[in-house]
Structure 1
Amino acid sequence: MKQFTELTGAELDIAVALALGASKTKTAMDNAIACGVPLRYREPMFAVVNAAGIAVMWRPTVDWYQGGPLLTNLLELGFMIMQPPEMPVAVIKEAWRIEGADVLEAVCRTVVAMAQTKESA
């Protein structure tokens, strides 16, 4: 498995869903109970399923509607966002510094890093 710092695009989108507690084998309703998002896995990625059963690709790395709440959660936990000139975006808190090409990529990598840290503890 790749390190969270190497993940981008669809791989990072899937890693975020799994980090939130979604499962590739559960129904959208079961994933909604597990992680708060009604996610359904269909090869090659997750989709968000609304009440009418309409699925939209799960792309928190590029979709602010999906990635924005992840950012809000991190800010509530005391994380900060920094983007010094000519540097990648970084999500920072104490010893944590997670970088990404843009805000959503940095946020998504932080979500995955936090889940990996919990798993190894």
Structure 2
Amino acid sequence: MASWTDILLLVVILATVGGVVYGIVFVSQTLSSSMESTKAKLKDRGLDISKSGVSVKTSGRVERDDYIDATQRGFIKAMNAGSFRKDAHPSPSVHGSASTPERKDSTASLDEKKKRKLFGRK
């Protein structure tokens, strides 16, 4: 026959195991509900997350002409930003009146490079 201490110990163990199981179920439900609310917020912003992947909602369709125009604008901006276009010397005129720029020694250009800082000019 079981004594009172055995019955009390059984009740304590069952209560502990039940509390752990309840805690696990509570945490999993909380995580599930927070994930669902996050998915709903992302869906409002235009991102739909599902088991098959992520889909992004766009505001409109881009036509081919718009794409080509944007690409050409990008090339023009890159070309204008290039250093080969800046400080270009004028070509000599037909009559030869334009003077040619003086050339520096190669040692002078090496001295200038040594004087430059790491990320900037003099």
Q: Normalized against structure 2, the TM-score is what? A: 0.19
Structure richer in strand, relative to its length: 1
Task: Select the structure of larger CA radius of gyration.
Answer: 2
Structure richer in helix, relative to its length: 2
Higher relative CO (Cα under 8 Å, sequence separation at least 6) belongs to 1
Q: Normalized against structure 1, the TM-score is what? A: 0.19
